[in-house]
Copies of this chain bind each other. A is one copy, B any other.
Amino acid sequence: MSHTLGIRQAQKQKTRQALLDAALELLEGQSLSSLGLREVTRAVGVAPTAFYRHFRSIADLGVALVEEALGSLHPTIRTALSTTGDTEERIVRAVELIAGHVERHPAHVRFIARERYGGVRPVREAIGGQLARFAEEVAEALAEDPVSEGWSRDDLLMLAQLYVDQMIMTACGFLEAQEAGPEEQERSARLAIRRLRLIGVGRRHWLDDGHDDAGSGTPG
């Protein structure tokens, strides 16, 4: 691992990264299923056949892009979840964190939003897998919160998924607001905060009303 990889491998990874970058840029104006192999190689300035040295197909490249866009986000989320503070503070912090991420990696966010239900099955599944991992991490963090006392594992996961979906929708909102001026971004932020607030209120009062759900079926 610590061994500096040779000139050969280094150059290969460089072109591979160039392909990924070019693809991501081209994807700002279209979907993955319409992205052409030649289109990508042309943008990089490399022969079409060179593509096959790195990816089996465009779908394969798409999966790699998912890894790049979401894979590195796990530690960020973990640290964000472990920050202490007032409920309100944590909400604002989370929204700011999302806003920052969208501002720094807009193309990545757009790609994920676009391909989450996009036309390329393997990519869809890759994104779904990563989001499921996020949800589990959030659920884990929620479980350690004293507010979650008495919550079933199922309900915790439900709430975690709700938070993950909310995170994505907030990111999408910022993305749309980004090309509509800063005052729209501000509006998006305030909207996201209020949404999270409302979900938080629901969370704190979840066990107040009786939830005699006969279908939950998790007696353990």
Whether the pair B33, A158 counts as a contact (CB closer than 8 A) is: no
Count this chain's copies in the assembly: 2
Bound form: Cα–Cα A37–B213 in Å: 51
CB distance from A45 to the nearest CB of B (A): 24
Indicate if A172 sits at the interface (CB-CB under 8 A). Answer: yes
Whether the pair B194, A201 counts as a contact (CB closer than 8 A) is: no
- Which B residue's beta carbon lies closest to that of A111? B117
Indicate if A181 sits at the interface (CB-CB under 8 A). Answer: no
Whether the pair A119, B190 counts as a contact (CB closer than 8 A) is: no
Interface residues on A, range: 35 or more
Bound form: Cα–Cα A30–B182 in Å: 34
Bound form: Cα–Cα A153–B159 in Å: 26
Whether the pair B216, A206 counts as a contact (CB closer than 8 A) is: no
Indicate if A200 sits at the interface (CB-CB under 8 A). Answer: yes
Whether the pair A110, B114 counts as a contact (CB closer than 8 A) is: no
- Which B residue's beta carbon lies closest to that of A207? B201
Bound form: Cα–Cα A216–B194 in Å: 10
Contacts of A162 in B (CB 8 A): 195, 198
CB distance from A7 to the nearest CB of B (A): 38
- Which B residue's beta carbon lies closest to that of A215? B190
Whether the pair A190, B209 counts as a contact (CB closer than 8 A) is: no
Bound form: Cα–Cα A208–B201 in Å: 9
**Subset of 18 A-B contacts with CB under 8 Å:** A27-B119, A29-B119, A30-B33, A31-B32, A31-B119, A34-B119, A113-B117, A114-B117, A158-B191, A159-B198, A162-B195, A190-B215, A197-B211, A201-B202, A201-B206, A202-B202, A202-B205, A205-B208
**Chain A residues proximal to chain B, CB less than 8 Å:** 27, 29-34, 110, 113-114, 116-119, 155, 158-159, 161-162, 165, 169, 172, 190-191, 194-195, 197-206, 208-209, 211, 213, 215-216
Closest 9 CB pairs of A and B: A202-B202, A34-B34, A31-B31, A31-B119, A30-B119, A113-B117, A201-B202, A33-B34, A198-B202
